[in-house]
Amino acid sequence: MNEEPNTGNMDHPLKILVFQQDGRGESKVKGIQRYGKNQFDITLITIDQPLPLVVDDASEYLPETIDAELVLDFLKHPDLSHDLALLCRRMGVPIVASGKKTTVDGTHTPPVCCALAHRRELGPYSRYFGAPELDVSVKDGKISEVTVRRGAPCGATWEAARRLKGYRVEEAPVRMGLDTQFFCTADPSNWDPIWGKSPVHLAADLHRSALAAALKKTQKTNT
């Protein structure tokens, strides 16, 4: 499998500040570092101390300023996420808070990390990570190569894609969805009433559809 994604145009690594609780951001940090081709400078902030049910003022737990060009929110406590979004808006720093419900303008809230659309203000992060984009080569009715141009920051896209070689074209989309579920690190219990799915099932659907679209494009090119 060809793992070379789109290249970035910045003259320096994009500075990303990742906030997490309970280790929720660690798989994403590893995936960004592995598949981001040295385009990102990541700092991880972990907030694991016991928190009250309601946090009236999150300044005790959050920094006073944001020294970054992008913030990724993997916090559990909604009050921390809300105040972090307000801080980012005040500092003029874009923030991606996947799966969050917020009224703070400018916060990007895809239902799952791999549902993020292209956003120019997110720089190279948006080119490398978000809704999956794939190129596929087919030989004798079977997958011969898959190139991941854009995928999930946890790395599930790349892990699932590298297992597709040799699968028949008609079987491959389902296989892609199943393997994505296996490698996805989203919380499967976080059921979304709007989508009617857990983040893991939504990720599987997105990857299955991405592969089906790539196969359709390949078939058109070869006819």
HSE-CB of 9 using CA atoms within 13 angstroms: 5
| pLDDT in the model for residue 8 | 46
Encoding tokens for residue 158?
Answer: 């790349």
Dihedral pair phi/psi, residue 175, rounded to 5°: -60, -40
Count of residues making up the chain: 223
| pLDDT in the model for residue 9 | 56
DSSP 188: T
| pLDDT in the model for residue 108 | 97
Instruction: Check: CB of residue 88 under 8 Å from CB of residue 107.
Output: yes
Comparing CA positions, the residue from 73, 71, 74, 76 lying closest to residue 51 is: 76
* Cβ neighbours of 141 (radius 10 Å): 9
| pLDDT in the model for residue 7 | 41
The more confidently predicted of residues 91 and 188 is: 91
Encoding tokens for residue 101?
Answer: 């419900």
| pLDDT in the model for residue 150 | 98
pTM of the model: 0.90
| pLDDT in the model for residue 223 | 64
Q: Which domains does the chain have, with CATH numbers?
A: 14-128 (3.40.50), 133-221 (3.90.1010.10)
User: pLDDT confidence of 6, banded at 50, 70, 90?
Assistant: very low
Q: What percent of the chain has pLDDT over 70?
A: 91
Beta bridge partners of 73: 19
How far from chain centre, in Å, is Cα 80? 20
Instruction: Check: CB of residue 78 under 8 Å from CB of residue 22.
Output: no
SS3 label, residue 106: coil
- How are beta strands 133-139 and 107-108 bridged, if at all? unpaired
Residues 118, 124, 128, 134, CA torsion sign: positive
pLDDT 10s digits, 156-215: 999 999 999 999 999 999 999 999 999 999 877 766 655 567 899 999 999 999 999 999
| pLDDT in the model for residue 221 | 79
